[in-house]
Structure 1
Amino acid sequence: MRSRSHGALTIPLPSAIGTSAASIAWKCSGLDAAGLRAMLGTSAITLGGLLKHLAHIEDSHFARLWLGSPAGAPWDTVDWDGTPDWDYRSAAEDIPEQLHVLWQESVARSRAIVEEVLSTGGLDQLGAYTTHSGERPNLRRILLDLIEEYARYAGHADLIRESVDGLTGEDPRGELNHGVGQWSAFHAHPGEGEFLPSDHGRSHKRMTAVVTVPWKT
């Protein structure tokens, strides 16, 4: 990837994460425990499992790669070698509210770290984690990893939610309640790199549930 200035990338990267996060939040909204535990075909992935897995990704990425420390609860008591898919499987034991809050709180911790880092410099600042070859990830790399993760799982969420109740498409603009506003400080004005949701002519089933979207206002 061509090197670009701090000013060119500070806004688009978190905004790009917010677009996929908004899609996932919408596809996981308004469902009871059975809906969040629904599986598609032979896959064991569920919407609840995606929420818990993304919470783990948020915490582990910034704790391990940026701070150089283990992730905290509930991840620090898990035997990951024995149960590498614990976050997916254990989600079936959680109620919907627990899963949504777990994800939202993990994003809040990530945002706090990013805000602190960017208050003292740019995206090229290096995290504490060091590879065997002596390399360290910068903040840009960590955010790009999150974009990749969220984009992948947004596609999973599309298919699973449609199989539950037929909901398709993207969130109609303006229907989400962005109460947490996790990443509002990073959003550009339209035309300056902001990633805005669009309908692209796809059909929607109107939702009345209140949805809180991490990474987005």
Structure 2
Amino acid sequence: METQPNQVGEKGTTTSTTTTTTTTTTTTTTTTTTTTTTTTTTTTTITTTTTTTTTTNYYFYYFYYYYFYYYYYYNYYYYYYYYYYYYYYYYYYYYYYYYYYYYYYYYYYYYYYYYYYYFYYYYYYYYYYYYYYYYYYYYYYYYYYYYYYYYYYYYYYYYYYYYYYYYYYYYYYYYYYYYYYYYYYYYYYYYYYYFYYYYYDYYYYYNNSYYYYYYYFYYYYYY
């Protein structure tokens, strides 16, 4: 293949390239029987010779050689690093996602446990408070009932005592009055009896005296 010089007018050269391709195929077949062993070896050789004649610019070829070399090398490493970076990013992302998911799950579980514990504690506290309040209320009610009963009993006792005292006073007064009346009656009766007997005695004495005087006079006169 013949090429023209580049546009700047540099001197061109003629390069001959010879490419020889040799292909060797070896086939070995081994067959073993009881009495006979046969070994067959086949060797096939294919030789291809390609001769390419190229006329090109040496500097242009050198520039393009190094350009493609660096381009290929750069792309190779670029793709390699890109692939590595992508793999690393994917791996990192996967682990990050996994870690985030695990953390989220753990956090959710912890939150749920905390919430459950808080609810349980709140419920227990509420129950305890309710029980305490109920006990306090019961105690207060009992105390109030006791106090009321005591007050009622006291009032009843006081009332009873008052009536008893009043009755006693009345009875005493009545007794005193009766006694006074009785005494008065007795005194009156006694006075009456005394005067009666006194007059009776006086009268009797007077009559007796009169009779006695008479009798005495009669006796004296006759005797």
- For the criterion TM > 0.5, the same-fold answer is no
Q: TM-score range by the shorter chain?
A: under 0.3
TM-score (norm 1): 0.15
Larger radius of gyration: 2
More helix by share: 2
More strand by share: 2
Structure having greater relative contact order (Cα 8 Å, sep ≥ 6): 1
TM-score (norm 2): 0.14
